[in-house]
């Protein structure tokens, strides 16, 4: 079933499917999930955490016996991607937290993904081994090489089955190219190159070459005193390998064409919405800072997330977005408090569904929001252990802004700001979503009839 | 330069919006919130400017400040300052000459030192403003920047912004910026490198431990480690 088509008549019903991770007691800060990503087929789901670990879940084959339950995700591989490092020159510790994971499209039996912390990008190969060769006669029982003079027969080893083993090996390490903190990585549609972006620069890499990268964007001013803007996110166009976009802390998006020049400091397109004078405040710039930018699967649109809204832009119209969705506008009157407790600096991500008809993003109190671009309807759902019965339908939540609070509503003042949904992912072709709530990963699916 | 003439609000008027502001503001002071534990120390007044400066100070004290956070804070501070003193312009302080032999794009802390210097210059300018704006919280959020209506909290001293990473690489020039600044309001939070000849504040334990008293032996050791590290960190060749 293609999501979006057929769902116009009625809203999708979302059900709880699974939750991964420990319940509160015993959870450490290292377990906090910092990135979630499906691979291109949706067969694999990867998470990265603050402790530098990557956990990959694989969807089990659907069985004829359990028609009503679509394939569940089970742990496929776990490995330590990044370790904490110490930069002796600056006397600084480099965090091992995984900022982003991006999958490469599958080209052979093995799976490849990129994972990055603040400074170093790594290419990991995840492969299965279910056979091993047996029958070598070159070593004795203790494993020592035999004297060649004693070997009189040529024995060809035979492959025998063994228990399935999934191994992850680091195939490339792309280091020492970023002075500032890496916030994004994006695989190019040519599958030969990728980019990594930090606060001030974007570098282009070839997968085969680790000791060199091309700098394609550099917004560092000659005088650091003049610094007023940083890069917050970047992504390649899904089909045009020469095109990419990057967003800034001032709420602007620049589209660049690598054919125009080697250094793409001059943009091809510049997307910015004029400020609404009625909403102006001291915090206008902070809330306009874009925390995520994503191309639609079609490549025709980009979606941006700032503190209070999600916006959809048409690549052909630079002066304003074509759609704006309010994520949690009730926070607009609380900006001062959110500034005091630093919540105003939280960076939320946003995702498209497979058909680009629905967009999703997170909020506080473990709420997350979906907006249907066609019906213009939206829904607020919650990722919580209370709604964790198998196939339980998620009940829409509502935040009460003022006046009388209805029974099922929650008032703004009761929201838990420590429970934030920053990272979510949507299966590339089905209505399956993964929602990271601190150290737990929730998987929801739409109701199967 | 006095700013507070005629701007002081009456005590009674101050209390009501204050109460309202508190009712709105303290709902987030839930002990569940991790942000509370990390929040800057309690501010004597509700001034947004004070809060912002404290945040900036707090951010700069991190071993590696988050650049986005820093830039957003500085820009917000500039907005607040502009509303307090619209005719003032930020002086452009020449950045300290970079350490000799260091390339502009190098990974060394000199670029961070320049950033710290720019923050220092901004804050030094702010320190000249006495009688800070005390825009009541609800007003700030609703309309254009509120008119300064606050009382006269003591003038903000420019804060000692040196972080451990930059302390030993700064030029003597920069020290002069801090010599006549009154930092008594914030000194208990400061880390002051004892060896650099800068005006030390009242000491705190962590500050002393972080003090960069590098003697020759330690410098040699550090260089050995650097050389050793670089040998280890050489990336693998292509085709691995």
Q: CA-CA distance, A275 to A273, in Å (whole number)? A: 6
pLDDT band, very low/low/confident/very high, at B2 (cuts 50, 70, 90):
very low
pLDDT, residue A69, reads 61
Q: What pLDDT band is residue A391 in, cutting at 50, 70 and 90?
A: confident
Which ipTM value was assigned to this complex?
0.90
Give B92's contacts in chain A (Cβ within 8 Å).
225
Confidence of residue B133 (pLDDT cuts 50, 70, 90): very low
Closest listed residue to residue A24, CA positions, set A380, A363, A384: A384
Q: Write the residue in A208, A224, A285 that is nearest to B75 by C-beta.
A: A285
Residue A411's closest CA among B121, B129, B27? B27
- HSE-up of A92 (CA within 13 Å, CB side)? 23
| A245 vs A22 pLDDT, higher one | A245
Helical pair B67-84 and B110-127, crossing angle rounded to 10 deg? 20
Long-range contacts of B218-223 (CB under 8 A, 24+ apart): B222/A88
Q: Which helix (H) or strand (E) holds A93?
A: strand A92-94
Q: Residue B173: enclosing H or E segment and its boundaries?
A: helix B172-178
Q: Exposure of B206 by Cβ count < 10 A (0-12 exposed, 13-18 middle, 19+ buried)?
A: exposed
**Of A387-396, B209-218, B229-238, which one has max mean pLDDT?**
A387-396
Find the mean pLDDT for residues B103-118: 46
What percent of chain A lies above the pLDDT cut of 70?
A: 95
DSSP-derived secondary structure letter, A156: -
Distance of CA B116 to the CA centre of its chain: 8
Q: Is B149 on the interface with A (CB under 8 A)?
A: no
B22 reaches A (C-beta below 8 A): no
Question: C-alpha A366: how far from its chain's center?
Answer: 17
The label of the residue with tokens 């300052």 reads B81
Q: What share of chain B in percent tops pLDDT 90? A: 6
In this predicted model, which residue has the larger pLDDT, B166 or A406? A406
Tell me the backbone φ, ψ of residue A397, rounded to 5 degrees: -105, 160
Residue with the bigger pLDDT between A225 and B214: it is A225
**SS3 of residue A287 by DSSP:** helix
Interface of A with B in 126-155 (CB under 8 A): none
CA B114 to chain A, closest CA, distance in angstroms equals 6
- What local confidence, expressed as pLDDT, does residue B195 receive? 42
Higher model confidence: residue B186 or residue A195?
Answer: A195
Q: Is A211 on the interface with B (CB under 8 A)?
A: yes
Q: B176 φ, ψ to 5°?
A: -60, -30
CA distance A240 to B195: 56
Is 90 exceeded by the pLDDT of residue A139?
no
3-state helix, strand, coil in chain A (%, to 5): 10, 40, 50
Cβ within 8 Å, pair A210-B235: yes
DSSP class of A364 = B
Q: CA dihedral in degrees (A305, A248, A246, A321; nearest 10)?
A: 50
Determine whether the interchain pair A336/B25 forms a contact, defined as Cβ–Cβ distance below 8 Å.
yes
Nearest CA-CA distance, residue A421 and chain B, Å: 15
Cross-chain Cβ contact A333/B141 below 8 Å: yes
Q: Is the pLDDT of residue A151 over 70?
A: yes
CA atoms within 13 A on the CB side of A199: 21
Indicate the pLDDT class of residue B204, thresholds 50, 70 and 90.
Answer: very low
Q: Where are the beta strands (DSSP E) in A249-328?
A: 253-257, 269-271, 292-295, 301-305, 309-314, 323-326
Residues 6+ apart with CB under 8 A from B107: A89, A90, A179
Contact (Cβ atoms closer than 8 angstroms) between residue B165 and residue B53: no
Q: Which residue on chain A is closest to B38 by alpha carbon? A: A341
Span A172-179, mean pLDDT?
A: 96
pLDDT at position B122: 58
Q: Which phi and psi angles does A386 have, rounded to 5°?
A: -65, -30
* Cα distance between residue A314 and residue A322, in whole Å: 6
Task: Count Cβ–Cβ pairs < 8 Å, chain A vs chain B.
Answer: 163
More confident residue, A62 or A303: A303
**Average pLDDT in chain A:** 92
Residue whose pair of structure tokens reads 């003038």 in the numeric block:
B155
The strand pair at A399-400 and A410-411 is best described as: parallel
- Is B118 in the A-facing interface, judged by CB distances under 8 Å? yes
Answer for the pair B53, B123: CB distance below 8 angstroms, yes or no: yes
CB contacts of B93 in chain A (<8 Å) are 225
- Contact yes or no for B69 and A173 at CB 8 A: no
Q: Does the pLDDT value for residue B169 go beyond 80? A: no
Q: Do the Cβ atoms of B167 and B99 come closer than 8 Å?
A: no
Q: Which residues of B83-108 are buried (b: 16+ CB within 10 A; e: fewer)?
A: bbbeeeeeeebebbebeeeeeeeeeb
Q: Find, in chain B, the residue whose alpha carbon is nearest to that of A227.
A: B71
| pLDDT value at residue A265 | 85
Cite the DSSP H helix spans in A180-298: 284-288
What pLDDT is attached to residue A50?
96
pLDDT of residue A416: 96
What chain B residue is nearest to A86 in terms of C-alpha separation? B229
Please count the other Cβ atoms lying within 10 Å of the Cβ belonging to residue A42: 18
Residues 228-247 on A with a CB inside 8 Å of B are 228-230, 232
Give mean pLDDT, residues B194-223: 51
- Asked whether residue A180 carries a pLDDT value surpassing 60, the answer given is yes
In order of their start, the domains of chain A are 17-122+167-446 (2.130.10.10)
Q: What is the mean pLDDT of chain B?
A: 52
Say yes or no: A281 contacts chain B, CB-CB below 8 A.
yes
CA distance B206 to B63: 13
Task: List pLDDT tens digits, range B59-84.
Answer: 888 878 899 999 999 999 988 888 87
How many other C-beta atoms lie within 10 A of the C-beta of residue A339? 25
- What ranges in A333-445 are assigned the alpha helix state H? 335-340
Query: What Rg, from alpha-carbon coordinates, does chain A have?
Result: 24
What is the C-alpha separation between A382 and A37, in angstroms, rounded? 20
Residue A93, pLDDT above cutoff 70: yes
Note whether B205 contacts A: Cβ–Cβ < 8 A.
no
The values of phi and psi at residue A96, to 5°, are -90, 0
What mean pLDDT comes out for the span A413-427? 96
With an 8 Å Cβ cutoff, is B197 touching chain A?
no
Nearest CA to A12 out of A20, A1, A23, A21 is that of: A1
- Across A140-295, the runs of DSSP E, i.e. the strands, are 158-174, 184-187, 193-197, 201-206, 214-218, 231-236, 243-248, 253-257, 269-271, 292-295
Q: Which residues contact A189 (CB under 8 A, 6 or more apart)?
A: A236, A237, A238, A239, A240, A241
pLDDT, tens digit, 9 for 90 and up, residues A3-60: 444 343 467 899 999 999 877 666 688 999 999 999 999 999 999 999 999 999 999 9
The whole-angstrom distance between A319's CA and the closest CA on chain B is: 23
Per-residue confidence at A136, pLDDT binned at 50, 70, 90?
confident
What average pLDDT does the segment A251-260 reach?
96
Residues of chain B in contact with residue A211, where contact means CB-CB under 8 angstroms, are 235, 237-238
With a CB cutoff of 8 Å and minimum separation 6, the contacts of A106 are A39, A40, A41, A112
pLDDT at A225: 86
Confidence of residue A148 (pLDDT cuts 50, 70, 90): confident
Question: Which residue among A199, A413, A418 places its CB closest to the CB of B34?
Answer: A418
Secondary structure (3-state) at B123: helix
Residue A229 carries which DSSP code?
Answer: -
User: Which residues in chain A have their CB less than 8 angstroms from residue B136's CB?
Assistant: none
- Cα(A199)–Cα(A145) distance, rounded to whole angstroms? 54
What's the burial of A248, exposed, middle or buried (CB within 10 Å: 0-12/13-18/19+)? buried
Q: What is the pLDDT of residue B120?
A: 58
B164 touches chain A (CB under 8 A): yes
% of chain A surpassing 90 pLDDT: 77
pLDDT exceeds 50 at position B28: no
pLDDT of residue B71: 95
Mean pLDDT calculated for residue range A95-104: 97
Collect all residues of chain A within an 8 Å Cβ-Cβ radius of residue B38. 342
Place of tokens 């949507």: A426
């Amino acid at each position: 079933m293609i999501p979006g088509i057929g769902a116009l008549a009625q809203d999708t019903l979302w059900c709880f499917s699974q939750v991964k991770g420990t319940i509160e007691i015993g959870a450490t800060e290292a377990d906090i999930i910092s990135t979630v990503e499906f691979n291109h087929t949706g067969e694999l789901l990867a998470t990265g955490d603050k402790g530098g670990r990557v956990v990959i879940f694989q969807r089990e084959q659907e069985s004829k016996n359990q028609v009503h339950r679509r394939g569940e995700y089970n742990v496929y591989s776990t490995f330590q991607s990044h370790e904490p490092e110490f930069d002796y020159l600056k006397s600084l510790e480099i965090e091992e937290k995984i900022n982003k994971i991006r999958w490469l499209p599958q080209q052979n039996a093995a799976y490849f993904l990129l994972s990055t912390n603040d400074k170093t990008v790594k290419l990991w190969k995840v492969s299965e081994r279910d056979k091993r060769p047996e029958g070598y006669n070159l070593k004795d029982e203790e494993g020592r090489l035999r004297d060649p003079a004693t070997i009189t027969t040529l024995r060809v080893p035979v492959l025998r089955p063994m228990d399935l083993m999934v191994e992850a090996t680091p195939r490339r390490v792309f280091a020492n190219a970023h002075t500032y903190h890496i916030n994004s990585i994006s695989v190019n549609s040519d599958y030969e190159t990728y980019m990594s972006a930090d606060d001030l620069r974007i570098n282009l890499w070839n997968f085969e070459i680790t000791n060199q990268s091309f700098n394609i964007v550099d917004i560092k001013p000659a005088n650091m005193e003049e610094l007023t803007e940083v890069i917050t996110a970047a992504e390649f166009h899904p089909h045009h390998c020469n095109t990419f976009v990057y967003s800034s802390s001032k709420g602007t998006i620049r589209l660049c064409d690598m054919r125009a020049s080697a250094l793409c400091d001059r943009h091809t397109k510049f997307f910015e919405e004029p400020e609404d004078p009625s909403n102006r405040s001291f915090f206008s710039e902070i809330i306009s800072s874009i925390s995520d930018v994503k191309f639609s699967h079609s490549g025709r649109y980009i979606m941006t997330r700032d503190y209070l809204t999600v916006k959809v832009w048409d690549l052909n119209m630079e002066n304003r977005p074509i759609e704006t969705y309010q994520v949690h506008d009730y926070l607009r009157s609380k900006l001062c408090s959110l500034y005091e407790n630093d919540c105003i600096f939280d960076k939320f991500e946003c995702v498209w569904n497979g058909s680009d008809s629905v967009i999703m993003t997170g909020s506080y109190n473990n709420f997350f929001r979906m907006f249907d671009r066609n019906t213009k309807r939206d829904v607020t759902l919650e990722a919580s252990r209370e709604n964790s019965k198998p196939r339980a339908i998620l009940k829409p939540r509502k935040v009460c802004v003022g006046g009388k609070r209805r029974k099922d509503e929650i008032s703004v003042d009761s929201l838990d700001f420590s429970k934030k949904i920053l990272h979510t992912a949507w299966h590339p072709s089905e209505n399956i979503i993964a929602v990271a709530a601190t150290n737990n990963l929730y998987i929801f699916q739409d109701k199967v009839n | 330069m006095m700013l507070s003439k005629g701007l002081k609000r009456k005590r009674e008027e101050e209390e009501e919006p204050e109460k309202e502001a508190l009712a709105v503001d303290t709902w987030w002071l839930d002990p569940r919130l991790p942000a509370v534990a990390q929040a800057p120390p309690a501010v004597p007044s509700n001034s947004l400017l004070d809060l912002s400066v404290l945040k900036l100070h707090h951010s700069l004290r991190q071993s590696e400040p988050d650049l986005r956070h820093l830039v957003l804070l500085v820009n917000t501070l500039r907005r607040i300052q502009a509303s307090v003193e619209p005719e003032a312009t930020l002086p452009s302080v020449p950045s300290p000459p970079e350490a000799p032999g260091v390339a502009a794009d190098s990974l060394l802390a000199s670029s961070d030192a320049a950033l710290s210097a720019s923050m220092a210059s901004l804050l030094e300018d702010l320190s000249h403003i006495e009688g800070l704006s005390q825009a009541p919280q609800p007003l700030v959020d609703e309309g254009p920047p509120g008119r300064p209506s606050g009382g006269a909290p003591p003038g903000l001293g420019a804060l000692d912004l040196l972080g451990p990473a930059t302390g030993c690489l700064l030029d003597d020039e920069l020290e002069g910026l801090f010599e006549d600044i009154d930092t008594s309001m914030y000194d208990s939070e400061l880390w002051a490198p004892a060896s650099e000849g800068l005006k030390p504040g009242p000491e705190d334990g962590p500050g002393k431990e972080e003090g960069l008293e590098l003697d020759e032996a330690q410098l040699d050791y550090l260089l050995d480690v650097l050389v050793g590290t670089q040998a280890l960190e050489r990336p693998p060749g292509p085709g691995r």
